[in-house]
Amino acid sequence: MQNLPQIQDLPQIQHLIDGQLVAGGTRLADVFNPATGQAEKRVPLADKLTVEHAIGCAQAAYPGWRNTPPLKRARVMSKLKVLLEQNADAICALVTAEHGKVLSDSLGELQRGIENVEYASYAPELLKGEHSKNVAPGMDSWSEFQALGVCAGITPFNFPVMVPLWMWPMAVACGNTFILKPSERDPSSALLVAELALQAGLPPGVLNVVHGDKEAVDTLLTDPRVKAVSFVGSTPIAEYIYATGCAHGKRVQALGGAKNHAVVMPDADIPNAVNALMGAAYGS
């Protein structure tokens, strides 16, 4: 009979705060391997104090990062893209081990995330403002983009690499600092990507990763130092996050559900339609 690891022997994932892997929170959750049904790791669920510490570190890092030239910020994204490509096998192995999707789907997810990192490296061009001369007698006008401050992202279990890479690369390339709260079901790949960002030159405190549940989420939604929140997940949670975040004066982007409908016409190519429906319903 196979000897299964005891709970106390399971490796423990940590938070990444101010460039350091740290513990935080007294509650722990199991991280399962879907292929075996066995718990293989444990993840700490951050308490209010841990999240507040991460917010404080992000706030402290914000002035220096905001004043870093956009070209230098973009250079970090370019280096991160290379590191993600070099470490693709390790990242995808973590996704498959904790989420359960096959390696080819994990690689496809990572590739879509890398595309967003590449897009973030174009930030110097995207951040250019506009100038109009003589819009009225003796009057010119111009526009400019300014960073908001500390931003947060709350991401789902089904795309543990891609969705975080939708959020924080562009946010930090624009001069914000960021706190990522990945799904506690499969957090390791997002944590590894954040560690690679540090290797790429991202200063400590600019990107922080805290694991947790509703207590961590509520702290991010109510702390006045957090200026904006992005979320991807179920519709009921999206509605809660949108209402709570807006009630506390934050900019909120809450993407919920993403359930799609399909109409198959009588003259459709049925094999192709079936393949498309199966991919849309069950592909990841």
Please report which confidence band the pLDDT of residue 1 belongs to, taking 50, 70 and 90 as the band edges. very low
281 band by pLDDT with thresholds 50, 70 and 90: confident
**In the predicted model, is pLDDT for residue 2 greater than 70?**
no
Spatial contact of 24 and 17, defined as CB atoms under 8 Å apart: yes
pLDDT at 129 over 80: yes
Q: Predicted confidence band at 284 (pLDDT cuts at 50, 70, 90)? A: low
- The pTM of the whole model exceeds 0.85: yes
Mean pLDDT for 152-170 is: 98
Whether 171 contacts 151, CB under 8 Å: yes
Tokens found for residue 133: 């001369």
- Please name the helix (run of DSSP H) or strand (run of DSSP E) that holds residue 42, with its range, or none: strand 38-45
Structure tokens at 14: 């940590």
| Statement: residue 116 has pLDDT above 50 | yes
CA distance 122 to 39: 41
pLDDT recorded at residue 6: 55
- pLDDT of 251 over the 70 cut: yes
Q: Where are the alpha helices (DSSP H) in 121-161?
A: 123-126
Domains of the chain and any CATH numbers: 10-124+147-259 (3.40.605.10)
Q: What pLDDT score does 236 carry?
A: 96
